[in-house]
Chain A
Amino acid sequence: MSPTAFAFLLTAPAAVPLAVAGAYALAAPRTRPTAKAFVAELTGARQRASAQGSVLVAEAPEPDQVSARHGQDWAGLVSPAVILTCGSLLAADVVDDGPKAVYSGLLRADALTAWMLLVVGAVALIACGSAPAYLAGERAAGRASVRTVWRYHVLVQAFLSAMCLAVVTANLGVLWVAIEATTIVTAFLVGHRRTRTSVEAAWKYVVICSAGIALAFLGTVLIYYAARQAGIAEAWALDWPTLVAHADRLDPAVTRLGITLIVLGYGAKAGLIPLHAWLPDAHSQAPAPISALMSGVLLSVAFAALLRYRVIADAALGPDFTRVLLAGIALLTLTIAAGLLLAQRDYKRMLAYSSMEHMSLIALAAAIGSPLALSAALLHIAGHGLAKATAFCASGQILHLRGTSKIGRVRGLLAQVPWLGALFGLAIVGLLGFPPFSLFASELGIARAGFAADGGLGWVMAAALLLVLIAFAALATRATHMLLGPAPDAETAQAESPSALWPLVMGLAACTALGIATGPLGDLLTQAATVLERA
C-alpha cells in the first residue's frame, strides 16, 4: 500500500467523525440568538402571519423538515462504517507488512490499533444504529427538542473522533489529550436530560474523570522526564515505539512513580479502583446508546492505553511491578463490583457494575501477561464491547417501554416484547460467559493462563473466579426476574419495530461469530498480543 493511502486510512477514522460532527453543526437549526437570525426570523414570521392571517404559524410543525431530520439520525452511521472499513484495510495491511507510522510518528498503525479500530467501529455501529429508535422514543415522549437532538449528534460524532484518535496515535501525549477530550465531549451526553440525577452524574463524571486523568498526565510528564534524561530527543521522548525500544535506559525510580500514576489515572477512565465512582452513575444516567459506547469501547480504549504503558513498564522495571499493581487493582475492583451487583436494584447500574467486573478480568489478564492471557484479554475487550453494547441498547428500549429502571418493577419482558426480551436475555447470557458467545472463549483463556502462570497468580485467579461466580449469580437472578413472569397488561403488548432491533441482532451475531471462530481475525489477534508482549 502506498504511504499516502496508508496515511489516509489512519487519518480517516478520526477525521471523518469530526467532519460529520462539523456537518451536523453546520446543518443545525439556527436557534442561536444572534441578532441577524433573530431579525430574519421576525420578518419571516411577520410575512407569514400577514399572508395567512394566522397567529400560530411559528408553532406549526413542518413535516418535510422533520423527516429530513430523521434522515439525519441515520446519517450518523457513516462514521462507524468508515471506521470499520479503515480498520479492516489497516488490519490486512499490518498483518502482512508490520506496523507503520505516518506524520513523523504522530499516527501509527500496528495490529493492536487495527483491532481496537475494529472494536470501536463495531460497537459504534450498534450504538449509532440504535440511536434513531432511541431518539424517536425521546421525541415521542416530548423530551427531545430539535436542538437537543442536534447537539446529541454533534457530540456523539466528536466522541467517536476522539476515541479513534486515542487509538491511532503513537504519541503518548496526544493519547492523553484524546482521552481527556472524550471526557469533555461526553459530559453533556451524560447530562443530556437535565434532570437532577443526570446533572449529578455529569458533575461527578467530569470531576472524577478529569482529576483522575490529570494524574495520568502527571505520569506521562514523569515518563517524558525519564526519557529525556535517558538521552531521547524531545520529538521522540513521548513516542511509544521509541520508548519501548529504549525502555531499559529509563530511570527505574522515576518510571515506577510515573507508571503508578498512569495506572491510577487511566484506570479511573477504565472503571478501575480507586477512582471508579463515576462509572455506575454516568452509565445509568446517560442515554442508552451513549452508555453502550462508553461501556463498550471507552473503557477499553482507556485500558488499551494502559496495555501500551505496561509494555514500557515491563521493559524498564521487570514484569513484577505491573503484575502486582494490576492484579491488586483487579481483585479489589472485582470485589466491589461483585458486592454491589448482589445489592443492585437498578438494571442500568447492574450493567455498569458488570462492566467493572469485566474490566477487572481484563486487568487480571494484563497482570498475567502471557501471550495466551493477552490475546484472551483483547478478545474479551471485543466480546464485552459487543455484548455490553447490545445489552445497554436493549435496556434503553426497556426503559422507554416501562418508564422505570428499577429491576423490581420490571417483569414479564419475554411475554410482552418477545424479540426485545430475548435479545436482552441473550446479551446477558453472553455477558455471563456462556458459549457460543466469545466471552466464554476469552474467560476460559484468561483462567487457563492464570492457572498456568507462576508466582501466586493461580490463587489470585481462583479468588477472581469465585468473585465472578458471585457476580454471575447476581446477574442471572436479576435478569431472570426481569424476563420471566406474566406480561403486565394485555393491552400494553406492542408491536416491535425491526429497525430498533437489527443492531442488537447484529451485535449478538458478531459476538457469537467471534466465539465460534475468529477466522481471518485470528492472525490479527495473535499479532496484537505479540505487540503487547514484547519487552
Chain B
Amino acid sequence: MNNSLFTQLLDLACGAFLLAAVVVLWRRELAAIVRLFALQGLALAAIALLLGLHEDRWDLIVVAAGIGALRASLLPYLIRRALDALVADRTRDQDGARAYTYSEEVRETEPLVNVAASLLTAAALTLLAYAVARPLVELDPTPATRALPVGLAVVLIGFFVLVTRRRALAQVVGFLLLDNGITATAFLAASGVPLIVELGVSFDVLLAVLVLQLLTARVREAFGTTDIDDLRELHD
C-alpha cells in the first residue's frame, strides 16, 4: 500500500472513529447509541488492520480481526441483549402507566448536561485533546501518531458520557468509548501493546461488561429503574 493512500485511509478511519463518539452524545435512543458503538468498533478494527497492512505484520491483522469480533459484535450484542431484557420486562405488564415508563427506560431522556451543551463540550474536549497530545505527536511525527489526538479525544468524550448520562446502559457505553479510545491510542502510538497485555485487557473489558450488565439488572430489580441518578442512598 503506498504511503499517501495509507494516510488517507487511516485519516478516514480515525475520522469515523471520532465521529461515532460525537454522535453518541447527539442521540437519545439507547439502541442507536449501541449501534454507533458497534460502528466505532469497526472503525477501530479498520485502524488496526490498516496499521497491520502498512507494517506487514500478520499478528496485527489477527488482532484487528479479534478487535472487530469483540468490539463490533460481541459487546454491542451483550448490551443490546440487556436492553431487550429491560424492554421485555416492561411489556410483560403493560398497562397505560407502565407503557410510559417503558419508553423512558430505553431513552436517555434527560442527561445531566443537555445535548446542545454536550456537543459544544465535546468540541472543547477535542481541542483539549489536541493541546494535550502535542508532546506525543512531536516525539515521532508519522501519519499514525499525528492522529493520536483522535484517540485522546474519544477517551475524554467517553469520560464525559460516563459522567453526564443517567441511564445505566448509556454509562456502560461511555465506559466502552473510553476503552476504545485507549485502544486506539495504543494502536496509533505504538501499533498496539504486546499481545499478552492486549488479550488480558480484552478479557477484562469483556468481564467488566458482563458484570455491569448483571448489575444493571440488579439495579432495576432494586430501584425499579436504570436511572443511576436515582441511586442516592449512600452518602455522608
Contact = CB atoms under 8 A, between A and B. Distances in A.
Chains A and B touch each other in the complex, with CB atoms below 8 Å apart: yes
A177 B231 contact: no
A343 interface: yes
A184 B215 CA distance: 11
A281 B231 CA distance: 12
Nearest to B185: A221
Interface in A230-261: 234-235, 237-238, 251, 253-254, 257
A284 B190 contact: no
B116 to A, nearest CB: 25
A207 interface: yes
Interface string B148-170: 00000001000100100000100
A358 to B, nearest CB: 19
B118 to A, nearest CB: 18
A257 B186 CA distance: 14
Interface string A398-440: 0000000000000000000000000000000000000000000
Contact of B182 (A207, A214, A226): A214
Given A251-B135, A254-B135, A210 B215 contact: no
A203 B139 contact: no
Interface string A200-237: 11111011001100100110111011101100001101
Contacts of B84: none
Interface stretch (A67-75, A189-197, A309-317, A321-329): A189-197
B207 interface: yes
B108 interface: no
Contacts of B223: 196, 199
Contact of B211 (A171, A204, A206, A254): A206
A147 to B, nearest CB: 14
A197 B136 contact: no
Nearest to B199: A177
Given A204-B231, A207-B175, A221 B190 contact: yes
A349 B186 CA distance: 38
Contact of B186 (A183, A197, A221, A344): A221
Contacts of A228: 190
Nearest to A203: B215
A195 B178 CA distance: 29
Contacts of A257: 132, 135-136
Nearest to A202: B215
Interface in B191-206: 193-194, 196-197, 200-201, 203-204
Contact of B171 (A207, A251, A349): A207
B208 interface: yes
Nearest to A183: B208
A528 to B, nearest CB: 26
Contacts of A191: 215, 218
Contacts, number: 139
Given A238-B197, A349-B236, A199 B218 contact: yes
B189 A225 contact: yes
Nearest to A209: B208
Interface residues of A, number: 54
A230 to B, nearest CB: 10
Interface string B131-152: 0100110111000000000000
Contact of B162 (A174, A211, A281, A340): A211
A110 interface: no
A364 to B, nearest CB: 24
A280 interface: yes
A257 B152 CA distance: 12
Contacts of B193: 173, 220-221, 224, 238
Contact of A206 (B132, B155, B189, B215): B215
Contacts of B221: 194, 199
B139 A217 contact: no
A333 interface: no
Contact of B234 (A106, A201, A206, A225): A201
A171 B194 CA distance: 10
A210 B159 CA distance: 11
Nearest to B210: A184
Contact of A203 (B196, B207, B228): B228
B234 A203 contact: no
A201 B85 CA distance: 23
A285 interface: yes
B219 A199 contact: yes
Contacts of B212: 206-207
A134 interface: no
A268 B207 CA distance: 20
B105 interface: no
Nearest to B148: A225
A392 interface: no
A150 interface: no
A159 interface: no
Contacts of B155: 218
A254 B219 CA distance: 40
Contact of A344 (B159, B162, B178, B236): B236
Given A203-B168, A280-B234, 10 more contacts: A173-B200, A177-B204, A184-B208, A201-B234, A203-B228, A220-B193, A221-B193, A224-B189, A253-B135, A254-B139
16 contacts: A171-B196, A180-B201, A181-B204, A184-B204, A184-B207, A204-B231, A211-B159, A214-B178, A222-B189, A238-B193, A251-B139, A253-B136, A253-B139, A257-B135, A280-B234, A340-B236
Interface of B: 132, 135-136, 138-140, 155, 159, 162, 168, 171, 175, 178-179, 182, 185-186, 189-190, 193-194, 196-197, 200-201, 203-204, 207-208, 211-212, 214-215, 218-219, 221-223, 228, 231, 233-234, 236
> Top 8 nearest A-B pairs by Cβ distance?
A173-B197, A253-B135, A177-B200, A225-B189, A200-B231, A221-B186, A180-B204, A281-B234
